[in-house]
Chains A and B, each alone.
Chain A
Amino acid sequence: MLTPKSEYRRKLTTPERAVSGIKSGSTIVHGLAAAEPPALLQAIADRLRAGDLTDLRVHSLLPTENVSKSLLAPDLSDCIQAFSWFVSKSSRSAVKVGLNYYVPNHFHQVPRLMRENLDIDVTVTMVSSMDRSGFFSFGTANDYTSTVARCCRKLIVEVNKNQPRVFGDSLLHISEVDAVVEHTSPLIEFKWPGARPEDDAIGRLVAEMVPDGATLQLGFGGLPNVIALKLGSHKDLGIHTEVFGPAMVELIKNGVVNGRRKNLHKGKHVFTVAEGTRPMYRFMHDNPSMESYPVSYTNDPAVIAQNDNMVSINSIIQVDLLGQCNAESLGGSQYSGTGGQLDYVRGAYNSRGGKSILAFYSTAKNGQVSRVVPRLGSGAVITTPRMDVHYLVTEYGVVNLKGRSSRDRALDIISIAHPRFRESLLREAENMYLL
C-alpha cells in the first residue's frame, strides 16, 4: 500500500514534465490570485512559445502578474483564447480590445458554471506543503479552485511552502492529484491605494452603522479596507466574507473580531479567497480560527443570511437617480466584475438585523466628475439593481433606499452627492419626471 509520502514521491516531477501531456485545444483553469502557480504557468507558456502547443482555452478570475507574465502575455494572444471571470489590471486591456473575454457571473455560481459548462482538461494551482496524512491545503484560494480541481481530467499542483495551510473545507488529498511539482516563491501581495481625504468621513459613517456582535463581509478594494480600520472600538465582531484582507487581521489581533456571536462557524473567520500581504499569509498559516470554504458556500445568499446582524460593505463606481449601481464598468468597458457584490447585498439584507452597505466617494477625477449621475451612461453595467440596493454611503451621508419611491430615492441619492452637483442633479431628476 502506498503511504502518502511514497505517493507524493511517485507523483513528484518537474514543471516541464508535468505539463508535457497537455494537448493543443485543451481547456485550462488555474488557481485564483495568490494561488496562481508561477512555475507551471511558465512551463505552459514555454511550450506555447516553442510552437509545441496552441489553441488553449484559459480561464482566469482576477488574473495577477504570474498569469500576465506567462499565459496572458501579448505575444501569446494568437495561441490562447483567454476568459476572465473578473477583470483585473492584468486582463483589462486585453478585454477592452477583445483579446480576452469577460464571463458575466455571480461569484457564488462560478463553481457550478465551471463544472457544468466547461469541459476542463487541466487544472493547475498552488497548494500548501503536504501534511503527514497526505493532505495539502488550497490555502488562499478555495473559491472555485477546489471544485475545478475535482472535475478536471488532470490536476497538477505546485507545492509552495509559503502557501498557508488553512482549515475549513480546504483540504486536498495526494490521492486526488495527478502530478506534483515543488516551487518556492513569495506569494503575490495585494496593496490598496493610499488614503483619500474622504476616507475618514466614510469610515466613520459606516462604522456607526455596524453594531457590536455583527458579522462582516468586506469587499475587494481600497475603500472597504479603509472602513475596516475604523472599527477598532467595536466588540465581538465576526467574519464571514468572500475576500479575507489585511485589515481583518488587525481587527482579529486587537480582539475586535472574535466570532463569538456568529450563528454559523462560531469563533471562526470564514472566507473563500485571501488577498493581502505576506505577514497576513503568515498569520493565516496553521491558524485554527481561519476556515475557507468554496465560494458556492461562502457567497450563497441563503448561507450569508443565516448570520444575524450580517453587514456587507462593498464599493461601487457610480449610481444613477433610480438607484441602479454600477460597480464594474468604466467608460463603457468592463473594468472589474460583478464578483460577489450582489451575493452579499442580497444575503446581508435577508439576515435578521442585517445591512448591505454600498460605499463610494461622491466624485471622481479630482472632484471634477460626480459619481451620482442622472442616468448610467451607454455601455454601463448594472451590478446591483435598484430593487436590491439597501444603504448607500458617501462622505456626505447615509441613505436607505429600501421601500422608497422613485421620487424619494432620487432625493435621497442627491442628498449624498457632492454639493456642487446637487442642483444640476435635481434639475435632471425633474426632467426625468422623478420629482
Chain B
Amino acid sequence: MDLAEKNSGDVNILSIGGRLDAYSAAEAEKKLDGLIEAGKVKVVLNLDGLEYISSSGLRVFLSQLKKARKQQGDIKLCCMKPNIKEVFDIAGFTQLFNIVGDEAEAIAGFSA
C-alpha cells in the first residue's frame, strides 16, 4: 500500500494506492488516526491508485469517518475505481460516505 499526504488549505488529502487489506489496514488506520487526533478533521481520501480494498480497509474508513464527524469534520472519498466502488455499493458504504468524482470536487465540498 502507498500513502501520500498533501494539503489544500485546511483540507488534508491522503492518496492511498495499491492494496488496502488485512496487512496494510493498520498502517492506514495509524495515519488517519494521527491526522484526526491532531485536529485535522477535514480529510479527502484520493483512491485513484487503490486497486483492492478488503473488509479491514472498509472498517478503518468507517471508524475514522465516525471520529472525524464527531469533531465536526468529514472524510470525503474521490477518484474511486469501478471495482472499489462496487465493493462500497455491496457493503452499503456508499450511503455512509460522501463520494465524489475528483479531488477538486472533494476539496470544494468542505467549503460548501
Contacts and interface: CB of A to CB of B under 8 A. Distances in A.
Q: Do A and B come from one complex?
A: yes
Interface string B9-20: 000000000000
Contacts of B62: 75, 77-78
Given A74-B92, A74-B96, A77-B91, A97 B55 contact: yes
A46 to B, nearest CB: 15
Query: Looking at chain B, what size class is its interface with the partner chain?
Result: 10 to 19
B55 A98 contact: yes
Interface in B82-106: 87, 90-93, 95-96
Contact of B54 (A74, A96, A98): A98
A96 B96 contact: no
A382 interface: no
A99 B96 contact: no
Contacts of A97: 55, 58, 87, 90-91
B63 A78 contact: yes
A79 B59 CA distance: 8
Nearest to B62: A78
A330 to B, nearest CB: 14
B93 A74 contact: yes
A93 B55 contact: no
A100 to B, nearest CB: 9
Contacts of A74: 91-93, 95-96
Interface in A85-118: 93-94, 96-99
B66 interface: yes
Main secondary structure of the interface of A (DSSP, over half): loop
A97 B95 CA distance: 16
B66 A93 contact: no
A94 B87 CA distance: 10
Contacts, number: 39
Contacts of A99: 55, 58-59, 91
A97 B63 CA distance: 17
Interface in A378-424: none
A145 B91 CA distance: 28
B21 to A, nearest CB: 10
Contacts of A73: 92
A77 B59 contact: yes
Contacts of B70: 51
A99 B54 CA distance: 9
Contacts of A94: 91-92
A79 B87 CA distance: 19
Interface string A254-266: 0000000000000
B96 A93 contact: no
B45 to A, nearest CB: 16
Contacts of B93: 74, 77
B63 A93 contact: no
A77 B58 contact: yes
A241 B58 CA distance: 40
A358 B97 CA distance: 44
Nearest to A72: B92
B27 to A, nearest CB: 17
Given A51-B66, A97-B90, 18 more contacts: A73-B92, A74-B91, A74-B92, A74-B96, A75-B62, A77-B58, A77-B59, A78-B59, A78-B60, A78-B63, A78-B66, A93-B91, A93-B92, A94-B92, A97-B55, A97-B87, A98-B54, A98-B55
The 4 residue pairs across chains A and B that have the minimum distance between CB atoms? A74-B92, A98-B55, A78-B62, A78-B63
